[in-house]
Structure 1
Amino acid sequence: MTQHSQFALLRTRRFLPFFVTQLLGAFNDNVFKQGLIFVVLFGMAFSDKTGNLLVNFCHMLFILPFFLFSALGGQFGEKFAKDALIRMIKLAEIAIMLVGALGFFYNNLYLLLLALFGMGTHSALFGPVKYSILPATLREEELVGGNALVEMGTFLAILAGTIGAGLIMSGSHSAGLVSAAIVLVACLGYFASRQIPRSAAAMPELPLDWNIFRQTWATVQLGLRQRPAVSRSLLGNSWFWFLGSIYLAQIPAYAKDLLHGDKSVITLILTVFSVGIALGSVLCEKLSGRKVEIGLVPFGSIGMTLFGILLWWHSSDFPAATAAHDWLGLLGIGQAWWILADIFGIGVFGGFYIVPLYALIQSRTVETERARVIAANNILNALFMVVSALVAMVLLNVAGLSIPELFLVVSLMNVAVNTYIFKIVPEFTMRFLIWLLGHSMYRVRHQGLEAIPDEGAAVVVCNHVSFVDALLIGGAVRRPMRFVMYYKIYNLPVLNFIFRTAGTVPIAGRSEDPEVYEQAFKRIAQYLEDGEVVCIFPEGKLTTTGEIDEFKAGVERILSANPVPVIPMALQGLWGSFFSRDPSKGLFRRFWSRITVVAGQPLPADTGRLVLQEQVRALRGSVR
């Protein structure tokens, strides 16, 4: 099957108009918010203390609608056609920006605050439909790439809006220019939304509950009642925004007080951070193999912690300065490069962390609940951002920590929070170990795996070459698979954790342990009855020669009792690797060796074991 880059989505009508719509919305949000901050700090006769108080009030006023209206947005996202709903929200944005334009033009704080609250409401209503439309319009293998582009576009739009507002507000006709800009961008967003294809309502019969407090509580409960992988992903997602808010809120003071920089240094740090998240987001598709790979979440968490600690380390004893540096002056200091590398690393690994979480929430939530679950996520995000501000205030002003020490504390908190999440949902850790194996000791290629159906029961039969065959196959195949393996391999240390978490079925020879033998067939039958894919190694043992041994009769018993399609599969290139039984193997002899997982076309359930054996042998070919 031809593989296309995620950027190919930008050439499709089912994605590009939506992408442009949300990009312009994020850009406009930040042009308006930053413009308002400039007006409060420099355009009105407030004292420094009052101005700073008003800036913080503006941040809270923008977040407040997420508590009040996200639940309503979730209901709208289920009840109404998503494309029509987006157009209505974008029309409202034009009206809100007209109010904001009047506020800028007449230097009227009340109109500006009213427009700010309106933009927060706009974002609260847009969020649920924004993320629930992606699974409705993208194929499963496009979901990670689509989310990656959305996250990349959002953070680059935030950066562009922040910089753009600074440039506009520094001019001599700033009021007229910013007024025109926000209305123009809102209009462009509406025209882009008119090109979004039809996306039907998921639950048009849903009754609307206009009691925002009752529905907010019900929406949060709905999100937290989801299966553990989804509910903990909501918490992980909100924790990311907790961390992000801590870092972003401290950047101005960090740049001014510790790096001795001017406004251009703040812009430089924001640019490095945003580009890092954008790069990490777009790399997710390549690293995940075009599937929702939650194994990247622990990888991202580890990276954010590591670079957060390094940022604290490299921030100590920064050279003093007699005057504020501009960004070029900062780049002339060697220590600054380490600091910027740390900030970039936090951004990149943040992208690895957040994109799979969004994709998992979308892919594993029932369609008729998806918009409300995403609304619950938005409510939790807002709550965590408010808590992050309180935590920062306590640690900086009460505990007396420096900003680098605050970064160290939240990095260590990241370890604790994600350890809890990964303990409750061991699938994250299991998938991370599988992903790590497939991206360290082996380079895994895929061929013909589209033969494995997206839905419904099937049996996969494969040759057995090494102790990690199941891990490599599980990492290659998009659907979760249930493996049947010899119980002594199942009980191997470390690997047993992965096998248990993945629902692997241990099996023994009939004469070895009749109870384990019979119990295995019962579990296999139950998995197939539930519509899952079961992978077995019909040789019954690892090859000791590199050749395919005779298939045992157990595969015929399984297919006779459970008449489902059977798919032959072969592993190429594993013989001689460290985990095989090749007598001449070595740890580094075949390090990072290239292997291929290749599947053939489905065969009927009455296919004999010898025919299956020949099919697998033909797929493997001469590459052992």
Structure 2
Amino acid sequence: MAGHNQFALLKQRRFLPFFIVQSLGAFNDNIYRQAIIGLLFYLGVGTAERTLYTNLAPALFILPYFLFSALAGQIAEKLEKQRLIVITTMMEIAIMSLAAVGFLLQNMPVLLLALFCTGLQSTLFGPVKYSVLPSILKPEELTGGNGLVEMGTSLSILTGMIAGGLVFVLAGSHGPVVAAVAIIALALAGNAAARMMPRVDAGAPELKIRWNPLSESLAVLRLAKKQKAVRNAILGVSWFWFVGTVLTSQLPSYAVVNLGGEPTLYIFALALFSIGTGTGSLLCEKLSARTVEIGLVPLGAFGISAFLLDLYFARAGTATAQGLSLAQFVQQPGSARIIVDLLGIGLFTGFFVVPLFALIQSRTPKSEMSRVFAALNIQNSGFIVLAAVIGLLLQLKQLTLFGHTVPMPGLSIPQLFLALAIANTLVAIWIFSIVPEFLMRFLSWLMVRTLYRLRVRGIEANVPDEGAALLVCNHVSYMDALILAAVVPRPVRFVMYYRIFNIPVLRWIFRTAKAIPIASPKEDAGLMQRAFDAVDAALAEGELVCIFPEGALTRDGGIAAFRSGVEKILARRPVPVVPMALKGMWASMWSRRDSRLGRMRVPRRFRANVEVVAGTAVDGAATDAAQLEAAVRALRGDDA
């Protein structure tokens, strides 16, 4: 793990063609949409007509998401995914050919029809885009893979907008021809990349497709609510689109009115946000140590609010200068702060959204995943429309309804950013209060990454990607469970001595993580029996369970004899057993190496080097406590 680089995925056939397809798709969509706006200026269309088209275009693009997402989810579930991606890219070729005719004829109705069809094609591609990743990536690669996809999407949207906006500026009278050739060429390239993808099996080939859009939209929305964590992850992704829509839709006016720049300065502001998002997306794998680390979500949420709040204070009023070029703006006092704020918002947006996508993928059955992402697309579309409407209404000073004038907030753009920062904080607090797992993971992630330097060996190769397994490990400190949870890609149910389970602060973390408290028969025979029943139920559900068979923290740094509890578990359910060893924990904080005061000694114990080693899984029906103890001892070696 230590030497892994997520960019290695870009060298592998299982990922690279898909990455190219989705990046080219986003790039082509945005070239096309910006080129339509460029054509309006080229044709000298009046302001009123241009405003009509520029507002109609996004509505036509997003309408298919409401109408056809449920159908798209069912199709993506039923068909082999590589074949479906080839089909959708062939649709793109046909649609872009129609759009090319529109450019050549300079016919807006044809271009808008093609734009609606582009939205339809994107609707069909959406569910397969994210549901394919768990099939081609290992669990420990999900965060890195999603980070690359989000980075590719952000940069493709940005460069597509820039390229599309420059078509008629640079090509002049040849603009329609250049636009037509470009969009067809990109569609052909995407289809060629799709044909290079390996086969990806259908999630539910036996699924019967139902064609009623309303009832099926409600059905997939209900399906997405089955698991509370998934349901709220979907809500978080939709909220990301809400925040992004409100922010980016204000940038053109913000760049002119509040930054004092030329109209094109908004491209620079958008670039800062996009680069920040791409960077944050890529950093997620490094920060999460290749697990699906939803602890980054609270960090991302509150980071977004902090930088939005600072953006308000950085430029609360209108600019004192006007018509600034990019170079002139950068030289203005306070511009560096605004640049950092826009980068920071994007950076923490990446921290926020990438783990949410990975969580949805890791917690959703493959037979339902495409439909769950279809539900996500429906909800995203609603949040995007809501963001556009609210952003508009909040800036109005008054509104006339049925002959009556209604006073409105009349917020300036910086005030809108302030309102968005407050709303984002409140929504984040609400989500984390109803799903405390997010906040729990953040606290455990913060504690582990602050207190230790972790190295990991054997996790990828030996901890199974799916299905039940029992993890057995030596027990050194009160932090052992948090450290193992931080390095194992899948959620783990920990069995722990009830006195450790009840430690203040850690108790809330352990309870939220569904740890299983246990006691000796002399202390509480009933609790012990309930613990064994809970372990068996978890294994029956295909979960990972971790136990510390010594039964107590080591008092001398060595490994005590493994007790018979592990044999009782395996006698009831002989699942594979993965031996694991913690090395370096004896010299760290919260072990029993020193007196109570000495345990907290700093700096000798702070940021201790800790290694987690996993061995080859053994057959649970053919092992016992003594053999597992010997395996853990061998993994730990002499350097404890």
- Same fold, TM exceeding 0.5? yes
Q: Return the letter of the residue paired with 1:306.
A: A
1:192 correspondence with 2:193:
yes
1:199-278 map, 5 Å: 199-224=200-225, 226-278=226-278
**How far off its partner does 1:343 sit?**
0.8
Going from structure 1 to structure 2, the CA distance change for 1:615 and 1:403 (only over 3 Å counts) comes to: same
Q: What amino acid maps onto 1:89 in structure 2? A: T
5 Å-filtered alignment, 1:315-330, equals 315-316=315-316, 320-321=320-321, 323-330=322-329
* Per-residue deviation, residues 528-555 of structure 1 (Å, max 9, x unmatched): 3333332222332223333333434434
2:391 equivalent in structure 1? 392
Q: Which residue identity lines up with residue 85 of structure 1 in the other structure? A: L
Contact 1:577 1:587 in 2 (8 A): no
The Cα of 1:44 is off from its aligned counterpart by 3.4
- Any conservation in 1 of the 2:577–2:619 contact (CA below 8 Å)? yes
Correspondence for 2:490 among 479, 482, 485: 479
Residue segments in structure 1 that go unaligned for 5+ positions in a row: none
Bigger drift between 438-447 and 363-372 goes to 363-372
**Normalising to structure 2: TM-score of the pair?**
0.92
Give the secondary-structure state (helix, strand or coil) at the position aligned to 1:263.
coil
2:441 corresponds in structure 1 to: 431
Are 2:177 and 1:176 aligned?
A: yes
Please, what TM-score do these two structures have when normalized by structure 1? Answer: 0.94
Aligned residue for 1:571? 582
2:469 and 2:203 map into 1 onto residues whose CA distance is 29
Letter in 2 for 1:188: A
Once residues 244 and 484 of structure 2 are traced to their aligned partners in structure 1, the CA distance between those partners, rounded to angstroms, is 35
String of CA shifts for 1:18-41, please: whole Å, max 9, x gaps: 221211111111011111122334
Superimposed CA distance per residue, residues 401-426 of structure 1 (whole angstroms, 9 cap, x where no aligned partner): 11112112112211222222222322
Partner Cα distance (1:367, 1:476) in 2: 24
Q: Deviations over 1:426-461 (max 9, x none)?
A: 222222222222221111111222323334433333
User: Is 2:629 the counterpart of 1:619?
Assistant: no
Equivalent residue for 2:615, pick from 581, 600, 615: 600
**One-letter amino acid of the counterpart of residue 617, structure 1:** R
Could you say which residue in structure 2 is the equivalent of 1:40?
A: 40
Aligned alpha-carbon RMSD (Å): 2.1
- 1:181-232, Cα deviation, whole Å (9 max, x unpaired): 11221222222222222223333333333332332232222223x3112111
TM superposition shift of 1:100: 1.8
- Matches of 1:551 and 1:190, distance apart in 2: 58
AA paired with 1:499? F
1:562, 1:79 → 2: CA distance? 34
- 2:8 pairs with 1:8: yes
- Supply the AA of the counterpart residue of 2:609: R
Is the deviation greater in 168-177 or in 578-587?
578-587
SS at the partner of 2:589?
coil
- Alignment check: 8 A CA contact 1:318 1:335 kept: no
State how far apart, in whole Å, the 1-side matches of 2:531 and 2:196 are: 53
After the TM superposition, which of the residue ranges 575-584 and 382-391 deviates more from structure 2? 575-584
Please tell me the residue identity of whatever aligns with 2:206: E
In the other structure, the counterpart of 2:481 is 470
CA separation in 2, counterparts of 1:338 and 1:50?
38
Q: How many residues align?
A: 621
Q: Which moved more, 1:526-535 or 1:297-306?
A: 526-535
- For 2:480 and 2:500, the matched residues in 1 are separated by 11
CA distance in 2 between counterparts of 1:382 and 1:569 reads: 45
Aligned residues of 2:291 and 2:486 also touching (Cα < 8 A): no
Q: How does 1:149-168 map to 2 (within 5 A)?
A: 149-168=148-167
**1:525 to 2:540 alignment:** no
Q: Distance in 1 between matches of 2:297 and 2:359?
A: 11
Q: How is 1:392-541 mapped onto 2 (pairs within 5 angstroms)?
A: 392-397=391-396, 398-449=408-459, 450-541=461-552
- Whether the 8 Å contact between 2:582 and 2:611 is mirrored in structure 1 is yes
Asked if the contact 1:465–1:580 (Cα under 8 Å) also holds between the matched residues in 2, the reply is yes
Tell me which residue corresponds to 1:127: 126
Say if 2:64 is the partner of 1:65.
yes
In structure 1, the residue matched to 2:403 is: none
Inter-partner Cα distance in structure 2 for 1:302 and 1:270: 21
- Verify the 8 A CA contact 1:539 1:551 in the aligned structure 2: yes
Aligned partners of 1:524, 1:6: CA distance in 2, in Å?
35
CA distance in 1, matches of 2:624, 2:222: 51
Counterpart amino acid of residue 164 in structure 2: A
Superposition deviation, residue 610 in structure 1: 4.4
Q: Partner residue of 2:404?
A: none
Q: CA deviation at 1:136?
A: 2.2
Conserved in 1, the CA contact under 8 Å of 2:262 and 2:324?
yes
The equivalent of 2:75 in structure 1 is: 76
Deviations 1:364-386 (A, max 9, x none): 22222221111111111110000
Would the aligned equivalents of 2:38 and 2:167 in 1 still touch at CA under 8 Å?
A: no
Deviation at 1:614, TM superposition (A): 4.1
1:559 deviates by 3.8
Worse-matched range after superposition: 556-565 or 348-357? 556-565
